[in-house]
Every structure is written in structure tokens, then in C-alpha cells.
């Protein structure tokens, strides 16, 4: 099969990546066109060792990185002044290399091996770039965090995780009523919520109370994911099962804020508490 036919199914995704990376539809599409021209000019040089899709992104990356401004940290300052969304503005604030690694991992779904090949770096540098990206993301989107969790050890751990990312914790609620009281005083920019709370009340209900007045990302951290993953709608965008990994919590916090993912009111399952 001709290389052009192998590449064709992957072009919409490359355009998505290019637009996110450059912060501009016109600029992103122009890079994609140049990528295709480079492949047409020398198809035998196409790097297919990690598959056609990774090879396509590698050619794009080589072209994009050939411009000096795209390799320097100052490139983050060249973001469009009128970025189309908060996501585009956040992406533009990341340094170029970490922005590439982040998008390739979280948006395009490549493995670390693929990313190393695409960016032409040692595989152990991929984790370093992702970690760097996490720190940069936290600086972009620092906010006030409300934690709804009745287990003292876990709530203390979540406080440390949030603070390590540069966020401020405005309170820890052990019950639905405590959560209500905190929100009356302070408006959180992010909520971390367990489902089963100290007095038998529901973290789902507490979250729905908050969402009746605010648009805010909510991450459920629970030992009972089946109470939310019922196949019904709406379901939460962000759900972490206990026992959790600290790096998973950090990544989820950063992504929920970075991508500006607001939550919607969630219907509790029949097995969940619905204390009024």
C-alpha cells in the first residue's frame, strides 16, 4: 500500500496536535502541509520504525524543531495575544519541549517509547519532560482547593499534594454540611471529593450542592467507583480509585484545571447515600 494511503487516516489527528502545539489553526495547518511536502519529496527517508503514525509525527516534529524559536523557552512568550480559549492560553505558557511531550502523551496517547522516537530524545527524558510540564501547568492554573474527605490521613495527604502543586487549600470537610459551610465563606476553584463521608452523607450530594452555584472541576477520589461508573449520565469526568497513586492525583488535578473541565451535576446510584 502506498505511504500516502497509510498516512491519510492519521492526518486529522496530526492537525489537532499541530493546532494545539502552535496555538493557531493557520499555523498548525501550515506545518502539516510542510510535513506532507517533506514526505513527498523524500518518501524513502520516512521513519517508520515505530509505526506510520509515530513516523508522521516525527517528521512533523523535526520540521517544527528546525526553527530556533520553537526550541527555546522564550517561545512561550510568543503566544497569540488573542488565543481562542483558556486551554490555548495555558498551552502557550508551557515551554516548547514539555508542551510537545505533554500533548503527545495526554492528547495523542503515544507511549513513552513513541514519544522518545518522535522527539529524538532518550526515553528516560520523557518522564522528566512530563514532570516539568506538570510544574509549569501548576503555575498556570493555581487555585483554591476544597477537600471533602472524612479520613484524616487521606485528607492530610491530599492537602500536601495540592500544596505541592502550588494550590491553596481553603478547607477540609468531613461531611456534606461542613462542605456547604466552607463554600458559603470561600469559593473553590477545584474540589477533591470522597463519596462516603463521616456521618453517612454523600460526597456526590455535596458536589451537587456546590455545582448548583458554581462551575468548578470536581475530582472524585473513592474506594467505591462503581457508585459513579453506572453507565448512566452524567458521569464524572475525573474519577480516581483508592488506593491512589500520588502521581496520578497530581496529573489529574493539573489536567482538570489546565483543560478547564467544569463538572456537571451527577446522579447518585441507588446504592449511594442521598442524605438531604
Q: Which domain holds residue 238?
A: 143-258
Q: Does the structure show a pLDDT above 60 at 76?
A: no
Q: Are residues 194 and 212 both part of a single domain?
A: yes
If asked whether residues 162 and 87 sit together in one domain, one would say no
Task: Tell me which of 242 and 82 has the higher pLDDT.
Answer: 242
The most confident of 52-61, 125-134, 136-145, by mean pLDDT: 52-61
Q: Do 33 and 65 belong together in one domain?
A: yes
Q: Are residues 160 and 41 in the same domain?
A: no
Choice between 178 and 273, residue whose per-residue pLDDT is larger: 178
Q: What is the mean pLDDT of residues 245-273?
A: 66
Whether residue 275 is predicted with pLDDT greater than 50 in this model: the reply is no
Domains identified in the chain, total number: 2
Residues 130 and 152 grouped into a single domain: no
Please check whether residues 149 and 242 belong to one and the same domain.
yes
Domain boundary among 139, 160, 194: 139
Q: How confident is the model at residue 245, as a pLDDT?
A: 85
Q: Are residues 34 and 149 in the same domain?
A: no
Query: Are 197 and 149 in the same domain?
Result: yes
In a domain? residue 24: yes
Q: Which of 139, 155, 170 is the last residue of a domain?
A: 139
Q: How confident is the model at residue 235, as a pLDDT? A: 52
Tens-digit pLDDT profile for residues 62-71: 999 887 555 4
What mean pLDDT is reported for the chain? 82
**For position 92, what pLDDT does the model report?**
65
Residue 83 forms part of a structural domain: yes
Do 126 and 193 fall within a single domain?
no
Residue 149 lies in a domain: yes
Q: Is residue 180 part of a domain?
A: yes
149 and 248 inside one domain: yes
Read off the pLDDT of residues 6-17 as tens digits, 9 standing for 90 and up.
Answer: 999 999 999 988
What local confidence, expressed as pLDDT, does residue 253 receive? 86
In the chain, % of residues over pLDDT 70: 80
Q: Of 43 and 270, which is predicted with more confidence?
A: 43
Q: Do 79 and 174 fall into the same domain?
A: no
Write the pLDDT tens digit of every residue in 154-200. Answer: 999 999 999 988 899 999 999 999 999 999 999 999 999 999 898 88
pLDDT band at 81 (very low <50, low <70, confident <90, very high): very low
pTM over 0.85: no
Confidence check: pLDDT of 95 > 90 = no
pLDDT tops 50 at residue 276: no
CATH number at residue 63: 1.20.140.160
Domain edge (last residue) among 121, 139, 157: 139
Q: What is the pLDDT of residue 269?
A: 43
CATH number assigned to the domain comprising residue 252: 3.40.50.2300
The average pLDDT across 207-212 equals 90
Residues 159 and 76 in one domain: no
In a domain, 269, yes or no: no
Higher pLDDT, 155 or 248: 155
**Residue range 108-125: mean pLDDT, rounded:** 94
**Residue 73: inside a domain, yes or no?**
yes
User: Could you tell me if residue 263 is inside a domain?
Assistant: no
d(CA 147, CA 163): 12
Instruction: Identify which of 32, 244, 28 has the alpha carbon closest to the alpha carbon of residue 253.
Output: 244
Residue 266 lies in a domain: no
Tell me the mean pLDDT in the region 34-44: 93
Mean pLDDT value of segment 74-88: 47
Amino acid at each position: 500500500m502506498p505511504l500516502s494511503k497509510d498516512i491519510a487516516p492519521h492526518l486529522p489527528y496530526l492537525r489537532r496536535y499541530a493546532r494545539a502545539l502552535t496555538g493557531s489553526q493557520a499555523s498548525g495547518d501550515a506545518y502539516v502541509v510542510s510535513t506532507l511536502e517533506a514526505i513527498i519529496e523524500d518518501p524513502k527517508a520516512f521513519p517508520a520504525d515505530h509505526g506510520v503514525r509515530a513516523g508522521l509525527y516525527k517528521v512533523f516534529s523535526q520540521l517544527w524543531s528546525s526553527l530556533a524559536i520553537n526550541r527555546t523557552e522564550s517561545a512561550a512568550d510568543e503566544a497569540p495575544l488573542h488565543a481562542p480559549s483558556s486551554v490555548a492560553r495555558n498551552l502557550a505558557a508551557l515551554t516548547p519541549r514539555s508542551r510537545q511531550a505533554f500533548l503527545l502523551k495526554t492528547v495523542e496517547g503515544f507511549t513513552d517509547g513513541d514519544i522518545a522516537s518522535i522527539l529524538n530524545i532518550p526515553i528516560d527524558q520523557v518522564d522528566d519532560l512530563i514532570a516539568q510540564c506538570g510544574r509549569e501547568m501548576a503555575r498556570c492554573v493555581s487555585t483554591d482547593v476544597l477537600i471533602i474527605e472524612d479520613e484524616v490521613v487521606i485528607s492530610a495527604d491530599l492537602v500536601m499534594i495540592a500544596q505541592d502543586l502550588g494550590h491553596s487549600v481553603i478547607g477540609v470537610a468531613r461531611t456534606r454540611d461542613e462542605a456547604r459551610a466552607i463554600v458559603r465563606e470561600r469559593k473553590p476553584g477545584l474540589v477533591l471529593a470522597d463519596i462516603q463521608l463521616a456521618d453517612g452523607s454523600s460526597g456526590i450530594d455535596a458536589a451537587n450542592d456546590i455545582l448548583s452555584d458554581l462551575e468548578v472541576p470536581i475530582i472524585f477520589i473513592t474506594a467505591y467507583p462503581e457508585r459513579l461508573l453506572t453507565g448512566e449520565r452524567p458521569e464524572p469526568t475525573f474519577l480516581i480509585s483508592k488506593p491512589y497513586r500520588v502521581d496520578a492525583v497530581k496529573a489529574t488535578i493539573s489536567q482538570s484545571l489546565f483543560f478547564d473541565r467544569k463538572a456537571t451535576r451527577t446522579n447518585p446510584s441507588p446504592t449511594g447515600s442521598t442524605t438531604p
